[in-house]
Homo-oligomer: A and B are copies of this chain.
Amino acid sequence: MLSVEEASTAILQHAEIRAATRRGIVEACGRVLAEDITSDVDSPPHDKAMVDGYALIAADLGGEGTQLRVLEEVTAGNVPTQTVFPGTAVRIMTGAPIPRGANAVVMVEQTRSTTASGQETVTVDATSLAVGANILPRATSLQKDDTVLTSGHLLRPMEIGLLAEVGRAEVEVVPAPRVAVLATGDELVPASKSPDNGQIRNSNGPLLQALVTRAGGIPRDLGIARDQPDALRDKISLGLSDDILLLSGGVSAGVLDLVPAALAAAGVEQVFHKVQLKPGKPLWFGCLFEKHQPRLVFGLPGNPVSSLVCFELFVRPAIARMSGHPANQPHHRSGVLTRGHRQTGNRPTYFPSILSEEDSRLTVSPIDWRGSADQRSLVTANGLALFPAGDQDYRVGDSVLTIPL
């Protein structure tokens, strides 16, 4: 049986980055860039006023109350028409180009303005000003033809602003993987129906779709397939048009676990079945190699918590890899137990737990939990604690690795 690490490696080997596509920049946020971006402008495009005030010659300020004749006013979006010479100034707004001749800007708060016979005079209260004061020189933050972002960069809101500044309204990005979700089992009815004797509701379908969305994929609901080869085949064939197909249920050892056979019939080749892991041991993984890029197929265990653990350990990283994200492994963070825990058995166990940030350390409290079908207790958890294989009593204060949920 594969270890978690071996299974993860086997999956990521087949998870290829999706072909690039063009998107508007706002929509592109959260996606990974698939081209290098160069600037078509200097930034700022001109020596620029950093405050509202008056552009002047710094050497003109000889003491308190220097008076300067105001030549004109330049607002943002306009250009100066006058050259500043000794004894004069130009009223200027934040962002506007500095007029020729001027070498500093005094803040409006340090001035008083009077107008007589249509001529404005400004009295400067500041007694001195450094050359360059309140001026941002042209091309300070970037020069035309600079490469400002490279392919593989994750686009956050800050990058979206930069893309707009350098003239890109659209960019090439790696699109979100499409993930089909199919629940299997004769015992399942949809959430909207009342279960009869022996039936339960399909909670895995909605759970997995929500997990896909949170992981940055686009879920597609294929509903429920009965435990019949024909029903399975039709739904599976639908799901194989997406990048990833998630099936839940039908992969443990029961006689009606028809999923692996139905997948084989659809041309999906098994890569592995079963992982040394609790919960989640029955995980099945295979690929359809016919298309230009492999379709990934996960047969997830039918229990919601098993499904969740397999999703976080294996499916989320595959979605991240296909999305071009540089970091695509679950981030295990160390924390300190605030509650004892008994670990048994020969499989590493991911146990639902409450993670909490306390005095800059992470505390971990395994929840009261009644096994992998217990969704009710699961909602009290916000993470998984990893207990390695082997019987051991963990005590308060022991260190364990965790994954946030």
Contact = CB atoms under 8 A, between A and B. Distances in A.
A203 interface: yes
B75 A256 contact: yes
A388 interface: no
Interface stretch (A2-10, A56-64, A188-196): A188-196
Interface residues of A, number: 103
Point out which of A140, A163, A190, A377 has the most chain B C-beta atoms below 10 A from its C-beta.
A163
A148 B29 CA distance: 35
Interface in A185-206: 185-188, 190-192, 194-195, 197-206
B25 A162 contact: no
Nearest to A52: B254
Interface string A16-30: 000000000110011
Nearest to A48: B373
Interface string A80-102: 00000000000101111100000
B362 A76 contact: no
A29 B217 CA distance: 14
B255 A194 contact: no
A6 B62 CA distance: 41
Contacts of A163: 191, 206
Interface in A116-168: 136, 140-142, 146, 148-149, 153, 156-168
A73 B256 CA distance: 11
Contacts of A146: 376
A206 B155 CA distance: 12
Given A141-B375, A334-B360, A158 B76 contact: no
A379 B206 contact: no
A227 B197 CA distance: 69
Contacts of A227: 75, 77
Contacts of A379: 148-149, 153, 156, 158-159, 162
Point out which of A148, A161, A255, A377 has the most chain B C-beta atoms below 10 A from its C-beta.
A161
Contact of A308 (B95, B96, B158, B360): B158
A317 interface: no
Contact of A187 (B43, B77, B254): B77
Contacts of A153: 379
Contacts of A376: 43, 141-142, 146, 148, 162
A158 B108 CA distance: 56
Interface string A374-405: 11111101000000000000000000000001
B211 A157 contact: yes
Contacts of A73: 255
A29 B207 CA distance: 9
A40 B168 CA distance: 53
Closest 4 CB pairs of A and B: A77-B186, A77-B187, A161-B207, A157-B210
